Chains A and B, each alone.
Chain A
Amino acid sequence: MTTPLNLRRPSGARAFKNSLATFGVWAAVAIATLPLLWILASVTIKGAPLLFTVGADHTIVCVDESDLRVPTSQCGTEEDAKGGTTRADGLRWAFPSGGKHVAVGEKVNLYRVDTAYPAADHIVYVDSDGAGEARFFSLQWWTSSLGNATSKDSQGGALQAIYGTLLLGLLTAAIAVPGGMLGAIFLVEYGRGTRAARVVSFMVDILTGVPSIVAALFVYAMFITTFGMKRSAIATVVALALLMLPMVLRSTEEMLKLVPDSLREAAYALGVPKWKTILRIVVPTSFNGILTGVVLGIARVMGETAPLLILIGYAKYLYLDPFGDSMGALPTMISDGISVPDGDAGSDRVWAAALTLILIVMVLNLLARRIAAKTKL
């Protein structure tokens, strides 16, 4: 009478579709993860050496087959050496050994690199073709500006660009944070449910969607064409603030909405006026959440490039004045140097600038996560 129950996994088309979907969603993870790892890896590998080292005025040392040193005049030119007698395949890093000479590969028999700085912290950077360049530890990248270094010079830092990026980020926040917070306070505390709030909210959505290049053109059309001002960091900041404002506003709005109404009512019941309630109770309660949004917003605008291309000249020297017509910044340092051929020192600097920018942005993002984790709401 009892028919045996079949409780096995469904087979055939249904099982196949289910497995296909499972495969698909995991493939999506791979598709998203791969580029991130690829970007981080290439920027780190190509950019990291410059961040802590600098090219030395290195000496080429020639040795013969039996490893004895011969005068430089007898060993031909550096170009000859690159021509094939050297081998350092696969070896990208080597450390000084013995303090004087540096082995860059087993089969190196004619051309060697001497750092001329025999201290143990010297690092020798060896290209895959065996052409060597001595590097030693230095924080020059962080402490000096690029200055007059040409694309073949390995000297020179990025101070002017780091300064510019940080300054632009902070000045932008100085405008966008009060504006965005006030807008959010209007939407949540004063205008909730009104027609005005809906119009503002719609416009914020539109402003969120305005491409950075359009915001930049608008500032150009208004400040430079119409008011006759010059390009400057300040003009750039205005354009960046237009981009950051909706970000701060939305994140603040979300946080204010999370503050329970009972808290507001408790304050009103004590006779505290509305504006004081907002300033003393509502905003402090959601402070961590608002700060998270602000930090993320700063990270975002620091990576913006388009407004900088239009509203400010790129400078290789350190200019401190935000009203001057040019200033370095990491994004423009990258776009400025992108056409330098691979292998030249200038091309390494592009990657180092990219790594620096990514480091700043990632640190800010991690900071934001930390703050968000501490939120009281």
Chain B
Amino acid sequence: MSNQPEIQSTSRVGDVLFGGAAKIASGGIVLIVLIIGIFLLSNAWQPLLDNSANFFTSTEFRASTKPPRFGVAALLWTTLLTSAVALAIAVPVAIGLALLLTQYVTGRVASAIAFVIDLLAAVPSVIFGLWGIKIFGPAIQPSAHLIENLLGWIPLFGDGQVASPGTVFTASLVLAIMILPIITALTRDVFAQTPRETIEGALALGATRWEVTRLAVLPYGRSGAIAAAMLGLGRALGETIAVMLILSKVARFDVSVFSGGETFASIIARNAPEFDTPYKAGVYISAGLVLFVLTFAVNALARVVAERGKAKS
């Protein structure tokens, strides 16, 4: 009886210490996300006040002039355009891959294909950038010119005055390849959870493989696939080095996919050597802040969509 309290107290000390550490680590994670926002905002505050251009509508971005003149309109356009084109290409391919892996093949073939996708996910983005600008970009130039000639009358496909392959077009295609694995992996997980009974119900009606997919798999996995696409979008919006290596700088902003330009991430990374004063850095941090808010919103929305999908089924 007498030593019981002692035993209890030692175990409690251990639990308090260890459980406390676990709680602190977790609390720290919550804190980090909040602090990121606060620090970015506080550093960008003064340059934002001094800004002599409209932050939301200007396409200029000059940190060195006094006062600085910078706006995010062009960055926002290029960022959204590259990501949107990338998504438009990657999502159908990813859904195709996810369907193949869950409905069409099994065993060794499936694991071989999954292995290829894992390897693609493992390739560092700087290598995607290098390959994109040196090999892939030049290789797709002829098709880019073809589209430009056919659809050039639409401003979106107009002559962007960029001679090199460093266009939004090239960057988007490379981005599409980069976000393919993540969207595939997430979509595949959702499709794999389609209840067996539903699939067999469709089969027993005499449905072909595609009809089974359309009746059972796609409706079941729709919200999961949307969430996966949004997480892919989050990746594409924030992708830095590959886009920076590929996109060429342009003198004047142009909406065309055959123009160059800068995304939020690429302009920050490219101008990192200019961060000689906190003030100048603050100008670029303001762009980072917008990117943070953008990715935060997309990721939060993806989570909501995924949760809602889970709740429904």
Contacts and interface: CB of A to CB of B under 8 A. Distances in A.
Direct touch of chains A and B (CB < 8 A): yes
Interface of A: 10, 14-15, 17-18, 20-22, 24-29, 31-33, 35-36, 38-39, 42-43, 178-179, 182-183, 185-187, 189-191, 196-197, 199-200, 202-215, 217-218, 220-222, 224-226, 242, 245-246, 249, 271, 273-276, 278-279, 299-300, 302-306, 309-310, 331, 334-335, 338, 342, 350-351, 354, 357-358, 361-362, 365
A203 B123 contact: no
A303 B124 contact: yes
A126 to B, nearest CB: 21
A361 B123 contact: yes
A217 B14 contact: no
Contacts of B96: 24-25, 27-28
Given A36-B123, A203-B30, A214 B291 contact: yes
B93 A211 contact: no
30 contacts: A14-B208, A17-B210, A21-B209, A21-B213, A22-B209, A27-B96, A29-B100, A43-B127, A183-B25, A186-B19, A203-B30, A210-B33, A210-B292, A210-B295, A211-B239, A214-B40, A214-B291, A218-B35, A220-B275, A221-B39, A222-B39, A224-B281, A274-B11, A275-B17, A300-B122, A303-B124, A303-B125, A306-B265, A335-B126, A357-B127
Nearest to A275: B18
B241 interface: yes
A245 B14 CA distance: 25
B104 interface: yes
B241 A190 contact: no
B19 A275 contact: yes
Contacts of B39: 218, 221-222, 226
B217 to A, nearest CB: 11
A38 B122 contact: no
A208 B123 contact: no
A56 B24 CA distance: 58
A212 B39 CA distance: 16
A357 B116 contact: no
B210 A342 contact: no
A200 to B, nearest CB: 4
A157 to B, nearest CB: 19
Most buried by B among A186, A190, A350: A186
A306 B296 CA distance: 19
B21 A182 contact: yes
Contacts of A215: 36
Contact of B26 (A200, A210, A214, A331): A200
A231 to B, nearest CB: 9
Contacts of B298: 209
B299 interface: yes
Given A35-B177, A225-B281, A245-B29, A190 B14 contact: no
Nearest to B95: A28
A81 B272 CA distance: 44
Nearest to A312: B272
A226 B119 CA distance: 40
B14 A310 contact: no
Contact of B210 (A22, A208, A338, A354): A22
A358 B123 contact: yes
Nearest to B24: A182
Contacts of B95: 28
B80 to A, nearest CB: 14
Nearest to A186: B22
Contacts of B32: 203, 207, 242
B122 to A, nearest CB: 5
Nearest to B41: A221
A335 B245 contact: yes
Contact of B299 (A14, A42, A199, A209): A209
B70 interface: no
B72 interface: no
A100 to B, nearest CB: 37
Contact of B272 (A18, A221, A310): A310
